[in-house]
Structure 1
């Protein structure tokens, strides 16, 4: 694995455990490189955070695309994608998207659009087949994934990890058609979530 890839992988793990303000020295140590090598690839923290966010979104996109291509049952595709996305720990990385981070930066926007399109395709396929409740939207799953994979304050990630897939499966059982009850409120659409997140 090349130095840049090692740095990004180490940064992702460190950010999940310690947040976006984690020491860059620790990231370099985990990657097995010197500080000078880290700064040669990423001149500042913002550049490294940007790369980690784009990398995670790309991995989530690839997971959705694989699930769509390889699962004959459309709901099995949704289920497979959800569990793989949970392993990416997107909830633990969400705080990095707040603050001074520009969600409309071209690289971020392109990665986000590709990811959302891939997940939307999974949902539409499952709903068209009658396997996914018609009263849910992609945002419902993405918000739930974010919440399930965000560590509780004051707890280490491994404490949370043992429950993530169990609770995610309970959620997925509730998404499968036919629904057993009427859901309160409206589906969480991607556009609706975007509007709510803007100042």
Structure 2
């Protein structure tokens, strides 16, 4: 089975006629239209690409360094200056929120797609586990560290959707008799976060090449009939959300 991997000039309007003037750094993010048409404000294409690069880079860096990852490193990997980061995100908390929302929404999409497209429930789980690694599930450490407001309506909505989607994948696999009964969604997310986080330092530079290999070993351990008795009790999502 093959598992997928992860990862315009400024314009403004000339005074009076509303025509586009390429190369001008206007003070507005509006894209000008000819006189008589509506002006629809939107993020300039280059600014939108910068924002996407910053969020993508932040996902990687938060996985590697945790919630206190250096913003300088995020800017460097995104290929932008620090000032560009702060133009898009006023502080670390706002950037953390955007990254958490992006990861949760993408993970929920992957889970829902796996359920629809995979007839075999355990293959849907397998597909989701590998997709979660590619989507940098470890960046959700932001939710556990207090870096993101737990009461933010958008965060609550994205989190609830992700939890429902992940639970659905596991319930289907368990109901089919292929997933052992003594594991829960919390176990899944904890193991994924640990198995997909690079080792510190430079001792394992190309860590990604090991991730999917080790995830297959993990998936073997999830299959029923269970080959061992697990110590303790299953980790639930509710337990992960409890304050320290």
Task: For residue 180 of structure 2, give the secondary structure of its aligned residue in structure 1.
Answer: coil
Deviations 1:156-181 (A, max 9, x none): 66443232222211111111111122
> Which runs of 5 or more residues in structure 1 are unaligned?
none
Structure-1-length-normalised TM-score: 0.84
Relative to total residues, which structure has the larger helix share, 1 or 2?
1
The separation in 1 between residues aligned to 2:129 and 2:87, in whole angstroms, is: 35
Q: Which consecutive residues of structure 2, in runs of 5 or more, have no partner in the other structure?
A: 1-47
Q: Show the 5 A alignment for 1:120-131.
A: 120-131=167-178
1:174 to 207, 221, 236: 221
Give the structure 1 partner of residue 85 of structure 2: 38
Matches within 5 A, 1:1-199: 2-33=49-80, 35-91=82-138, 94=141, 97-155=144-202, 158-195=205-242, 198-199=243-244
SS at the partner of 2:211? helix
Distance 2:187 2:61 in 1: 28
- Structure having the higher Rg: 2
In the superposition, the TM-score normalised over structure 2's length comes to 0.70
Aligned residues of 1:19 and 1:93 also touching (Cα < 8 A) = no
Superposed CA deviations along residues 47-102 of structure 1, whole A, max 9, x for unmatched, are: 11110111111111111111111100000000010011112232255257415543
Higher strand fraction (1 or 2)? 2
Shift in alpha-carbon separation, 1:49–1:157, aligned structure 2, 3 A: farther
2:39 alignment counterpart = none
Report the Cα distance in structure 1 between the residues aligned to 2:49 and 2:201, rounded to whole angstroms: 34
Q: Distance in 2 between matches of 1:70 and 1:152?
A: 34
